[in-house]
Amino acid sequence: MISQSLACGGSEQIPGVDIQMSRKYHTTNKLLTVKDSPQPVEEKVGALTKIIEAMGFTGPLKYSKWKIKIAALRMYTSCVEKTDFEEFFLRCQIPDTFNSWFIITLLHVWMCLVRMKQEGRSGKYMCRIIVHFMWEDVEQRGKVMGVNPYILKKNMVLMTDSFYAAILGYDEGILSDDHGLAAALWRTFFNQKCEDPRQLELLVEYVRKQMQYLDSMNGEDLLLTGEVSWRPLVEKNPQSILKPHSPTYNDEGL
């Protein structure tokens, strides 16, 4: 039986990796709003490419697949290495568990997917590779933590269902107002267990400003390098959304 966390933000846990911690939350009384994300421009593709993709294969892309795969790996890595998980545990009062790591990672992966879907067919291909790397990482982390293979496989199925449900909910939330986004975060991030509106307010602010920040990044740079940085969960100046510097790229994709 999969245990349920009693803390705010608790959700289904993988047995054997539940590390409960007591933390305080951040309070804020200001929400940020951003302009609607630009809609992707539909690419013109030839009849042969349409046939190839209708058969389930990937047609010719703007950049080579191996370059996009390298960029996708970097982008996923940024979701797990450049995110301050401890701050999320602290501010959102969620337990320091494998499942909490997953829901925080999922939120950042989703934001990357939303941004890359704006980059046409190459961006959509990159999205598939990012998700592939995420599941490889989740499985490997479970093995390293010593989770029973049968239990890990069972929970991977549950997490896959949760992932696609979360993506759908977040997509609807980001296209809605702050109330709609807060509802999506309450259902998915907090698993309907958060009663403190200040924590929801903090996450809504974070997602809005982060999407604005990602939208300011050059799409070509993202496709070629996958370099993504994240704004702090709590800003010293909530209005300070700075335009990021363009990353350096070379033909070796390094």
Whole-number pLDDT of residue 11: 43
Mean pLDDT for 16-43 is 41
DSSP 8-state symbol, 12: B
8 Å CB contact between 170 and 108: no
Q: What is the pTM of this model?
A: 0.74
8 Å CB contact between 89 and 83: no
Residue 49 above 90 pLDDT?
no
Q: How many CB atoms within 10 Å of residue 41?
A: 9
Residue 118 above 90 pLDDT?
yes
23-27, 86-90, 140-144, 229-233: which range is least confident on average?
Answer: 23-27
Whole-number pLDDT of residue 146: 86
Residue 54 above 60 pLDDT?
no
At 203-238, the pLDDT tens digits run 999 999 999 999 999 999 999 999 998 999 988 765
61-75, 85-99, 119-133, 234-248: which range is least confident on average?
Answer: 234-248
Mean pLDDT computed over every residue of the chain: 78
Extents of the domains making up the chain: 62-225
Mean pLDDT for 6-17 is 42
Residue 242 above 70 pLDDT?
no
Whole-number pLDDT of residue 110: 98
At 167-203, the pLDDT tens digits run 999 999 999 999 999 999 999 999 988 888 999 999 9
8 Å CB contact between 221 and 247: yes
At 135-173, the pLDDT tens digits run 999 999 989 988 888 898 898 999 999 999 999 999 999
Give the span between the Cα atoms of 245 and 213, in whole angstroms. 11
DSSP 8-state symbol, 119: G
